[in-house]
Amino acid sequence: MYSAHPSFKALSSYALRATSVAVLLALAACGGDDDDDRVPDVDTPIVEAPYVIPSPPAGLGYAETAPLQNAPAFVDFAATNQRGDPRYATLETNAGVRVLGGFLDIWEPRSRLVDAGVNANAANGFPAIVASDWTGTPGDATDGKIKNQAVHNENIDYVVRVTAKRTPEQAIAAYLDDRRGKNYSVTDGLGPLTAAWRAAARQTTSITDVPANATTVKYDDTGNNTGVSGAANPEFGKVIAFVQSMGENASTEPGKRFYKYARPWRWSNSVQVVPALEPAKSSTAATDGGFPSGHTAESVRNAIGMAYLVPERFQELVARGVELGESRIIAGMHSPLDVISGRMLGQASAVGNIYATDEGTRAVAVAQARQTLMTAVGAASPEQFITLARSTDARVDRFADHSVNQAEYRHRLTFDFTPIADTTRPAVVPKGAEVILETRLPYLNSEQRRVVLKTTALPSGYPILDDAEGYGRLNLFAAADGYGAFNGDVDVTLDASRGGFHAQDAWRNDIAGAGKLTKNGSGTLSLTGNNTYSGGTLVAAGTLRAASANALGAGAVFVGAGTLATAADQPVEVKGTFTQIGAGVLAVTLGDNNAGQLAASADAALSGQLTVDFAAGYTPRVGDTFSVLRARKVHGVFDGITVTGFKATPVYGPDSVQVRLDAVS
């Protein structure tokens, strides 16, 4: 029995609590004395109680936060990342050295000073720096001390294994990433936009192939790496200036000269350096430390800068940045810990420089990049630009496969090291790190972006990654796919009138947590993951698109206004009650084997509109009947239905809603 359907349709502002209470009170008034234990007459019909319309999911009642840590922030002290100044020669005074301090659990350098090959006069009360006697030769009397032998062995053995099984194609790629300008290499991550970017940037390289006389000739790139900036390039100069600014206070030399950790080919003769790179090996070991990797740091910070400017290729660009880091291992030039530390410092440098750039300058650079690239590829709108930028054709874009990129990126964050510490520590987020996501997730506020970084971070416990600020555990690829967990209630508003990601976006992570999702605004948000969040889902405006079987998590679903759309290749599950009031719309896209059907494990209360469409390649016919909704029990009816291409009749059963196709419209 369904209670008061006309009044149900008239409900507004989700004023269901009062209705539910009224129904419950009515039921109580109809009951007898609690002490009445008479057996009812078997001939008396049993009257089913009216269905109590659920209120919107309550959730947790609060939003999660990602508070700043009580630690010196890189963004505030980035200028201290330099060598040759005694004021900034220690772990405590040099921001670039400090962010990598977890390495001191693995390795104790000859001295805890930025002093390898460096002399510096006393200044401002700081004592003079005398160059270390470290020779750069592992194991000799001047060397540092290994503090965690297992991790060190794993680090060097990894390079031995990788270089032993390196393919000719990998060797060529490693050579190009070594010799070619790092930013030129990173632009590979732009896929279909690469040629347009390089042309607009006026970007060149002289390294196009491996030299024929590979073991005796060292080629240096005589191109311009990033391109032409400033007034000399009026169409794209501000874009290039922004990318170039990622190099401010970003040197890896202070870290190299503090940690004094040798390159892998100096640790083991079994490391096989790419033959074409033999001439590039330094002969001055004491000033050629391997930790951190400079190539990695530069590629990562430039990739982040470009991802900020072209968020339509955010994940592909950051993926290219860490791929270049791995190529340093394949080349035999660096170890995994060298590369991981380069990533950490590259991320910190990018955050520091974007954070230090005023909002107006950032906005101008983003606008110039978008306008120039949209024109170059013939995109008529930001939404079309997103589509054109995200090619699925591997022939023109080797980063076309999202799942492959995701797995490889995750591997390159840790290189599968064995954790050595507590793996359950909560993640922290560096000050200012949320700025990286402000173009990729523009509809979130700064605190929400911080929470995205927090909920997508790596587990704790990996070697060197548990820095106090949180740079080691950042997973930027995952963060670009939205929240990893709703540990508080999440209210998201997409405004379609603003275009781009404001109009349409997808969260592709598997979202956990006990919080609730509320979708507001006129834009469309798609959920594609295997979600388990349990606080419920409220569609208040716009469209929430359930694009996987478990997109809607493990809680109740309430459509108060706007549209809940299903677009999965199997039934979309609601693991609780489903409620749709008069202003709401259920839009199902049906396919084979009940694909797109809504399947509720509890009761469903219906009102509002139902629209039915069909998946590409699916050909329904007049006379067919389709199930659009299943539930434990169905209460109420839709106010109206629309089926693309057909006139149709709804068929309501006790636990289902079907649509019969009567005629072609």
- The string of pLDDT tens digits covering residues 268-295 is 999 999 999 999 999 999 999 999 999 9
Scored b (16 or more CB within 10 A) or e, 71-88 reads: ebbbbebbebbbbebbeb
Q: What is the pLDDT of residue 29?
A: 32
**Mean pLDDT value of segment 20-30:** 33
Q: What is the pLDDT of residue 45?
A: 55
Check if the beta carbon of residue 492 is closer than 8 Å to that of residue 522: no
356-374 residue pLDDT tens = 999 999 999 999 999 999 9
**Mean pLDDT value of segment 331-352:** 98
**Mean pLDDT value of segment 94-113:** 98
Q: What is the pLDDT of residue 43?
A: 55
Nearest-CA neighbor of 627 among 646, 601, 644, 652?
Answer: 652
The letter for the amino acid at 177 is: D
Please provide the DSSP assignment of 439-463 as one string: TTSTTS-HHHHHHHHHHTPPPS-ST
Predicted confidence band of residue 183 (pLDDT cuts 50, 70, 90) = very high
Tokens of 28: 């109580």
579-597 residue pLDDT tens = 999 899 999 999 999 999 9
In angstroms and rounded to an integer, the radius of gyration of the C-alpha atoms of the chain is 30
* 539: pLDDT strictly greater than 50: yes
Pairing of strands 625-630, 656-664: antiparallel
- Least confident span in 48-57, 236-245, 367-376, 655-664: 48-57
**CA distance linking residue 51 with residue 391, whole number of Å:** 49
Predicted confidence band of residue 47 (pLDDT cuts 50, 70, 90) = low
Looking at 275-414, list the stretches that DSSP marks H as alpha helix, in order from N- to C-terminal side. Answer: 294-309, 314-330, 336-356, 359-377, 382-389, 402-414
* 403: pLDDT strictly greater than 50: yes
* 28: pLDDT strictly greater than 50: no
**CA distance linking residue 356 with residue 343, whole number of Å:** 20
* 42: pLDDT strictly greater than 70: no
4 or 639, which is more confident? 639
Q: What is the pTM of this model?
A: 0.93
Q: What is the pLDDT of residue 327?
A: 98
Check if the beta carbon of residue 415 is closer than 8 Å to that of residue 162: no
* 38: pLDDT strictly greater than 90: no
* 232: pLDDT strictly greater than 50: yes
**CA distance linking residue 294 with residue 334, whole number of Å:** 10
- Least confident span in 8-17, 37-46, 495-504, 616-625: 8-17
**Mean pLDDT value of segment 484-509:** 98
Average pLDDT, the chain: 92
Check if the beta carbon of residue 124 is closer than 8 Å to that of residue 93: no
DSSP three-state, residue 414: helix
237-269 residue pLDDT tens = 999 999 999 999 999 999 999 999 999 999 999
The letter for the amino acid at 249 is: N
**Mean pLDDT value of segment 319-345:** 98
How far from chain centre, in Å, is Cα 207? Answer: 32
**Vertex 559: Cα angle to 555 and 564 (nearest 5):** 90
For the beta carbon of residue 105, count every other beta carbon within 10 angstroms. 15
**Mean pLDDT value of segment 306-328:** 98
**Beta-bridge mates of residue 525:** 505, 544
- Least confident span in 16-30, 67-81, 147-161, 381-395: 16-30
Which residues have CB under 8 Å from 208's CB, separation 6+? none
**Mean pLDDT value of segment 508-521:** 98
* 380: pLDDT strictly greater than 50: yes
> What DSSP element (H or E) covers 491?
strand 490-493
Q: What is the pLDDT of residue 211?
A: 81
**Beta-bridge mates of residue 518:** 491, 538
129-170 residue pLDDT tens = 999 999 999 999 999 999 999 999 999 999 999 999 999 999
